[in-house]
Amino acid sequence: MFGKQDKLINHAMAVVTGAGSGIGRAFAEALAARGGAVVCADINLETAQQTVDRITAAGGRAWALRCDVSVRAEVEALAEQAQALLPEPVSLVINNAGVGVGGKNIGEISLEDWEWTMGINLWGVIYGCHVFAPLLKQQGRGGIINVASSASFAAAPLMGPYNVTKAGVLALSETLAAETAGTGVNVTVLCPTVVNTNIFSAGRIHGGVPPVLNRIIELTGVSAEGVADTTLKALARGQLHVLPQFDARMIWRAKRLLPATYTRGAGLLSRLAAAKL
């Protein structure tokens, strides 16, 4: 038998955005393997369907839906369709869809890139919380996982739009956690450093992906599957922040201990690294 909180992640009635790839696919597969029924939403219906095919081939239950999370009406439609498809009311929502943007300083990166990133990474999560939080609160039970990033607090240069959207997701999640405290709804915000997914090839990374990223992936060594499993268990425990890698936890502590020194140091180190490459 599962405890009351384990029910959040076992036999969940789940909606996962950006479920056609990477961390979203890992969340969807993990929930289905735990006996859940999963609506796999993605702007790319073909890859969402591939996730569903993998889940059904493994004996799980899942449905693919096309949804562009940056469009309010599409997220509202997603909620309605999910309620109709799932055998029971939605109990777990994972606002995961996101895109990578970077490679230029603030003032050089285009406003179109800012707007594109804000639409998906920030407004997408705002719409997801706006639409689903009242449903879960009304039920008196449920979970919301928002996928932010350690970029939300790391002040990494050349990633302005991405950092701003993820800082917004962090603040949104913390506020939602405060507002849902005691209501039976758990909120968790995931803040990884680098995870090996398609985000770098699919995004707008000006000047290409820096080779140092591959080295960081080797060193931090956390897979999308590992990140999803850690985060689901954290949600069941009622843990708000998930920093799944050592470097994420180091940056978090350094920033809190010496905020100004950390920030200047991050800038100087990044320029030094760029000059050496």
Ligand X SMILES: NC(=O)c1ccc[n+]([C@@H]2O[C@H](COP(=O)([O-])OP(=O)(O)OC[C@H]3O[C@@H](n4cnc5c(N)ncnc54)[C@H](O)[C@@H]3O)[C@@H](O)[C@H]2O)c1
CA-to-CA distance for 163 and 157, rounded, in angstroms? 9
Residues with Cβ < 8 Å from 86, sequence gap 6 or more? 13, 37, 39
Is 262 among the catalytic positions? no
Cα dist from 161 to 103, 195, 253, whole Å? 11, 19, 23
* Shortest separation between residue 118's beta carbon and ligand X, angstroms: 12
| Contact positions vs ligand X (CB under 6 A) | 17-18, 20-24, 42-44, 47, 67-70, 96-99, 120, 147, 149, 192, 194-195, 197-199, 202
Work out the number of other CB atoms within 10 angstroms of the CB of residue 17.
Answer: 31
* Shortest separation between residue 199's beta carbon and ligand X, angstroms: 4
One of 103, 162, 245, 248 is an active-site residue; which one? 162
* Shortest separation between residue 184's beta carbon and ligand X, angstroms: 26
Q: Which CB sits closer to ligand X, 6 or 225? A: 225
3-state DSSP call for residue 142?
Answer: strand
CA-to-CA distance for 65 and 52, rounded, in angstroms? 10
* Shortest separation between residue 138's beta carbon and ligand X, angstroms: 25
Q: Which CB sits closer to ligand X, 10 or 213? A: 213
Q: Which CB sits closer to ligand X, 9 or 159? A: 159
Q: Which CB sits closer to ligand X, 66 or 141? A: 66
What is the rounded (10 degree) CA torsion for 185, 48, 121, 167?
Answer: 50
CA-to-CA distance for 89 and 140, rounded, in angstroms? 12
Catalytic site positions:
162
